[in-house]
Amino acid sequence: MAMLPDTNLIFSAQNGDTKSLEELARRIRPHVERQLTRYPVSEEDRRDLLQSTLMQVIRKISSFRGDASFSTWLFRVTANEALMMMRSHRRHRARLVEGMDMEELGALSDAGVASDGISQAVTGERDARVREALDDLPESYRSVVVAHYHQDLGLQEIADRLRISESAVRSRLHRARSRLRDVLVADSSTSLAA
């Protein structure tokens, strides 16, 4: 097990010494890897998290004041990176259409279709319908949906960007999801009847 860096190495790294920064990253890597095994993420995400955590440590090393131990500070930086990634993944899995998630949207267009190798074509068709439904939304609704689901912005971030209230964002998002649901359910019913 690699030893955590001593005070001299931390001080040199805080002063921007390149060799000290490299040594710091080398020494903390096993500690970060071990901590990341505690989070329910894929191996690929864990590798990404390792890199992003090491970068954050290098970027933020000057903020380490020594009020707590370095291992406590490192634990917090690592935890913050992991939690941000998990939060981002949750938002991506969030419901696009109220009451239906992306898999359920797919089921709308897949209903009644056998899985005989045409599933990719069906998926492409479904994605095209979702894009068309988004394009049919008024700009004020579409911009909120795109910001929330594609740019992964929170409600307050969207409100700030669009210079509207958070409650207006919430309202537009709700109305947009309702319209999308209506359009997609109608499309699904039409395609099933055909």
Indicate the pTM of the whole model: 0.48
Domain that holds residue 112: 102-193
- What CATH number should be reported for the domain holding residue 66? 1.10.1740.10
Rg (CA), the chain: 23
For residue 61, give the amino acid letter: I
Please tell me the predicted confidence (pLDDT) of residue 111: 44
Q: What is the pLDDT of residues 3-19, one digit of tens each?
A: 788 899 999 999 999 99
108 vs 45, 64, 119, 146, 180, CA distance in Å?
30, 52, 13, 22, 13
Instruction: Please write down the HEC assignment for all residues of 97-164.
Output: ECCECHHHHHHHHHCCCCCCCCHHHHHHHHHHHHHHHHHHCCHHHHHHHHHHHHCCCCHHHHHHHHCC
23: in domain: yes
Q: Where does a domain end: 43, 73, 93?
A: 93
Q: What is the pLDDT of residues 79-117, one digit of tens each?
A: 999 888 888 766 655 544 444 444 444 454 444 444 445
- What CATH number should be reported for the domain holding residue 116? 1.10.10.10
Q: Where does a domain end: 93, 118, 136?
A: 93
104 token code pair? 């359920």
